[in-house]
Homo-oligomer: A and B are copies of this chain.
Amino acid sequence: MRALVVGGAGFIGSHLCENLLKQGHKVACMDNFSLGTRMNVELLHDFPDFVLYEGDAANRESMRKIVREFTPEYIFHLAANSDIQASAANPDIEYRNTYSTTFEILSAMREYGVKRLFFASTSAVYGDKREVELDENTPDLAPVSYYGAAKLGSEALIHAFSYMNDMQALIFRFPNVIGPHLTHGVVFDFMKRLEQEPDHLRILGDGKQTKPYIYVTDLVDAILRFMETEKAGITLYNVGVEGDTCVTRIADIVCEEMGLHGVRYEYTGGEGGWKGDVPRFRYCLDRIHGAGWRARYSSDEAVRKTVQEVWKSRRQ
């Protein structure tokens, strides 16, 4: 199959490109290299069926040119802002990089008759509903971040474009995703800060923010497992893992794996890391478990494995 991975040089996209290639698909990676890097896809050039396009999905001409040239049968849309703290200060980032990319991808699919889409959505579409176990039918979605709003708006676009143009779409609402190629988030930040100053660690909030962390290869496994859905219209899954991990526990794991002892934790206080952050959420995973898929790594294991892999690659 001819697969176009938009945002394919990013953290998750680069893992997806690799695995699609290993499954024998022809893969085009499109990236504007604002967050993605050439290094993430460097090794993929060994595959003869890999092609790399530099282009911005939010740019109509650029997006359409690549769809016209590559003629994909399936588009994997992983192009989005992933630095949620940055967009909290400047919502334009989400408007352009998260919402407009979706609109232009769908618009190009409509123009050139591409019928299949994977979309990376997020737990942030639910908003702050810490009191309930979130399932795919949870009502009153009320995002508290511009990121969550742009993703929910994107889901709405996918519904309409799918209905109007007979497209099939698989939507995964991701939890926190971690693993090699990570560029943001608490695990990444802790490692970076402890590398510079190994005696103390500044922790945003009270350290009790508790979320499920999925290892990136588990997530990619789920994408590959469900991408050939036969269902017309939209297929939606919460994708998650067993358990969750609080921020202080992450700090402990990072210190352990980096061989640091007696690190002083300095909490900034308050319950959220920053405004727009949802400090706790839990997924109900009945739908995806019922479809026969489970993550290999628990949340704690995902954190530990990430630190091990990233730490190993940094010392190489």
Residues of chain A whose beta carbon lies under 8 Å from any beta carbon of chain B:
88, 91-92, 95, 99, 103, 106-107, 110, 125, 127, 136-146, 148-150, 152-154, 156-157, 159-161, 163-164, 234, 275-276
Closest partner residue, chain B, to A99 (CB atom):
B153
| Cβ–Cβ < 8 Å partners of A160 in chain B | 91, 143-146, 148-149, 276
Query: In the complex, A22 Cα to B199 Cα: how many Å?
Result: 67
Q: Which of B145, B161, B163 contacts A164 (CB 8 A)?
A: B145
| Cβ–Cβ < 8 Å partners of A99 in chain B | 99, 153
Which are the 8 A-B pairs with shortest beta-carbon distances? A153-B153, A149-B160, A139-B139, A152-B156, A149-B156, A144-B163, A142-B159, A137-B139
A142-B234 contact in complex given A164-B275, A276-B164, C-beta closer than 8 Å? yes
Taking a contact as CB atoms under 8 Å apart, the answer to whether B157 and A153 are in contact is yes
| Cβ–Cβ < 8 Å partners of A143 in chain B | 156, 159-160
Taking a contact as CB atoms under 8 Å apart, the answer to whether A152 and B149 are in contact is no
CB distance from A127 to the nearest CB of B (A): 7
Taking a contact as CB atoms under 8 Å apart, the answer to whether A149 and B142 are in contact is no
Q: Which of B91, B136, B148 contacts A156 (CB 8 A)?
A: B148
| Cβ–Cβ < 8 Å partners of A234 in chain B | 142
CB distance from A274 to the nearest CB of B (A): 10
Query: In the complex, A146 Cα to B160 Cα: how many Å?
Result: 5
Query: In the complex, A92 Cα to B140 Cα: how many Å?
Result: 27
Query: In the complex, A143 Cα to B157 Cα: how many Å?
Result: 8
Closest partner residue, chain B, to A91 (CB atom):
B107
Query: In the complex, A171 Cα to B48 Cα: how many Å?
Result: 53
Closest partner residue, chain B, to A103 (CB atom):
B95
Taking a contact as CB atoms under 8 Å apart, the answer to whether B140 and A156 are in contact is no
Query: In the complex, A156 Cα to B98 Cα: how many Å?
Result: 13
Taking a contact as CB atoms under 8 Å apart, the answer to whether B91 and A127 are in contact is no
Query: In the complex, A124 Cα to B185 Cα: how many Å?
Result: 36
| Cβ–Cβ < 8 Å partners of A161 in chain B | 91, 146, 149
CB distance from A256 to the nearest CB of B (A): 36
Taking a contact as CB atoms under 8 Å apart, the answer to whether B140 and A140 are in contact is no
Query: In the complex, A51 Cα to B276 Cα: how many Å?
Result: 37
Query: In the complex, A154 Cα to B156 Cα: how many Å?
Result: 10
Query: In the complex, A107 Cα to B161 Cα: how many Å?
Result: 26
CB distance from A39 to the nearest CB of B (A): 33
| Cβ–Cβ < 8 Å partners of A163 in chain B | 127, 142, 144-145, 275-276
Taking a contact as CB atoms under 8 Å apart, the answer to whether A159 and B144 are in contact is yes
| Cβ–Cβ < 8 Å partners of A110 in chain B | 91
Query: In the complex, A157 Cα to B145 Cα: how many Å?
Result: 9
